[in-house]
Chain A
Amino acid sequence: MKLLKMKTKSDIIFDIINYSFLAVIFFAAFYPLYFVVIASFSDPTYVNAGETLFLPKGFTLAGYEKAFEYKKIWIGYKNSAIYTLIGTCINLAVLIPASFALSRKELVGRKIFTTLMLFTMYFSGGTIPVYLLIKNLGLMDTMWALVLPGAFSVYNMIICRSYFQGNVSEELFESVKLDGGGYMRFFFSVVLPLSKAIIAVMVLYHALGHWNVYVSALYYLRDGDKYPLQLVLANLTNSLTNSMVDGGLGADTAETEKLREMIRYSTILIAALPMIILYPFVQKYFVTGVMIGSVKG
């Protein structure tokens, strides 16, 4: 054992190079967000002079104060929260039972159903046909246009299915049957309690998807009061970058230019904050999900 722990000279060189490279990678992953944080708290004069590369300078909250005044951000927050909550509930209600059914090998037609589902992963009607469908169903400009089309995710079904197949033993089903129960009772009293891990993973996957939704909002929503946060942020960044809209800041002076810069930094952070706060708590579930998914079903 001691022999194995001992490091040769080449091992040490290897380690030094490896650790340094990883430090560079860490920095590359970390710095962009870190800089945005510093810049959002600093006086733009210093930011533009390159004096805030590692620490904030000229501490100010002006950017945040101004950003907080944008009602649209808060409306976006509220909308995104609602869409995420309702959307995720629908996802789970559809996904978990269906995955369970498809995990039962005795299901008649299992192969046909699975093929029909897999087909949709690679072939779809396309932008306009989906748009026309949503329009014809009267879903335009409602949250349902964001929530319903992707209500059932085939990819996640495959992950759930392989989880059920690997973690719910057949004997448990036999014992439920001996008690005179059917699939219904088996699912609710045995399978669900055994599946907390995968349910947590699925809640996260879907919630993240809904929270980050952008393109379908751009396609299907017209009323600004219904925009989710990402669309609000995209529009805001756009208008601030292109200076087309003064954002209610008044004339285009050096002062407003400074304020505009700060708002850009602070709005990014305001929008990213929920994810950054949640990340430490949820990241282990993401890893679990990837592991389950990697066991091909």
Chain B
Amino acid sequence: MKISRKQEVAVISGNKTVWQRMLSQWQLYIFLLPALIFLAIFAYGPMYGILLAFKDYMPMKGIMGSPWVGFKHFTRFFTQPTCLQYIKNTVSISLVSTLLSVPIPIIFALMLDQVDTKWYKKLVQNMTYMPYMLSVVIVISICQVLLSPTSGVVNIVIEKLGGSRINFFGEEDAVFWIYWLTGVWQNTGYSAVIYLAALSGIDQEQLEAAKIDGASRLRIIWNIKLPAIANTVIIMMILAFGGAFNVGVDKMLLIQNSMNLGKSEVISTYVYKVGLLGGEYGFSTAINLFNTLVNVLCVLTVNKIADVVSDTSLF
């Protein structure tokens, strides 16, 4: 007991070596160990497999034994005629969903914040938040039945209004809209929660003072409420734009079919197809690596811009 007392005193006074301090914290390292093991195996382990991007994989020889091929896979990808199309699809889909994902929840939260009727506010908030719980499979399945050319309610309404039926999932141009709008449908309510929390933290006295001075509601929103959530907005923007080159492979695979392939083939689905289905491990890994690097670059750039412009950054 006495010794441990002494140790504590030493910790506080800080006159122990690093080694001694680590020893006194052995229990914390045990807490940390499982997480580190999982990270080492499942996050850092596969990074060694990135070597495949520069090799022709031969199952018998393993990753290490397979022959080096340099940048062959990259050259092949960048020179194939469909390359530009895949990149274009990826960027269009992800960039617009990112652009939509930032302002819509903010506007929605500001609108909701203006509602005095408690039950109405709760009702709208809870309902819009619900789709977040549903899986992409359910969301896309709902889309498929609602947009079905034979029995979908959307087409029925279109026909009633005098238009002609559209096979949305067979229409290349509809792909993007399906992806964007399901994203808005699923995430708006959820993303708004964070802004609502920030809005509820605004100093009431300031608001009342503004009201007494005769400021209109739009004026209050613009001059008090928006500045109050500015930091949250910037953080959310960094997070959103960090993934600005990312298309959810699960959602895209579900939307995809042979008719809309021209617009629905994105880098992540192509990686899956040539790799897992086609068995071209090296080629697939190379494309994947390219995608990952662009993503990392995105995060760093956006973070840097935010840091310079507004002094807010993630790292």
A interface list, Cβ under 8 A from B: 3-4, 10-11, 14-15, 18-19, 21-23, 25-26, 28-30, 32-33, 35-36, 39, 44, 47-50, 53, 93-95, 97-98, 100-102, 104, 106-109, 113, 116-118, 120, 122-133, 137, 148-152, 157, 177, 180, 182-184, 187, 208, 211-212, 214-215, 218-219, 230-231, 233-234, 237, 241-242, 261, 264-265, 267-268, 271-272, 275-276, 278-280, 283, 286-287, 290-291, 293-294, 296
Contacts and interface: CB of A to CB of B under 8 A. Distances in A.
A137 B127 CA distance: 43
B31 A108 contact: no
Contact of B124 (A22, A95, A149, A291): A22
Contact of A133 (B45, B232, B289): B45
A116 B211 CA distance: 50
Interface in B187-219: 188-190, 193-194, 197-198, 208, 211-212, 216-218
B230 interface: no
Given A32-B142, A151-B38, 9 more contacts: A11-B217, A106-B21, A122-B296, A123-B292, A124-B292, A127-B285, A128-B275, A219-B276, A261-B151
B109 to A, nearest CB: 11
Contacts of A106: 11, 21, 25
Provide the main secondary structure of the chain A interface.
helix
Interface string B92-126: 00000000000000001001101101001001101
A271 B145 contact: no
B43 A120 contact: yes
A215 B254 CA distance: 10
Contact of A241 (B115, B120, B144): B144
B177 interface: no
Nearest to B257: A242
B249 interface: yes
B39 interface: yes
17 contacts: A18-B114, A18-B115, A21-B111, A36-B145, A48-B150, A50-B153, A125-B47, A125-B50, A126-B292, A127-B271, A132-B46, A149-B42, A150-B42, A152-B38, A233-B137, A272-B138, A290-B197
Contact of B39 (A25, A28, A152, A286): A152
Given A11-B217, A48-B150, A108-B22, A122 B242 contact: yes
Contacts of A23: 124
A294 B129 contact: no
Contact of A98 (B34, B50, B132): B34
A19 to B, nearest CB: 7
Contact of A214 (B1, B48, B250, B289): B250
A124 to B, nearest CB: 7
A287 B288 contact: no
B11 A133 contact: no
A244 B44 CA distance: 42
Contacts of B120: 19, 22
A132 B63 contact: yes
Nearest to A48: B151
A183 B131 contact: no
A100 B296 CA distance: 28
A69 B277 CA distance: 32
A268 to B, nearest CB: 5
A129 B148 contact: no
Interface in B215-244: 216-218, 232, 235, 242
B85 interface: no
A130 B276 CA distance: 11
B157 A25 contact: no
Nearest to B146: A32
Given A3-B212, A129-B50, A268-B141, A53 B292 contact: no
B282 to A, nearest CB: 8
B247 to A, nearest CB: 12
Contact of A26 (B21, B35, B123, B190): B123
B275 A102 contact: no
Contact of B108 (A25, A98, A286): A25
A159 B29 CA distance: 20
B28 A241 contact: no
A254 B5 CA distance: 83
A129 B8 CA distance: 46
Interface string B17-31: 010011001011111
A215 to B, nearest CB: 4
Interface in B35-62: 35-36, 38-39, 41-50, 52
The residue in A23, A132, A294 that gathers the most chain B C-beta atoms within 10 A of its C-beta is A132
B305 interface: no
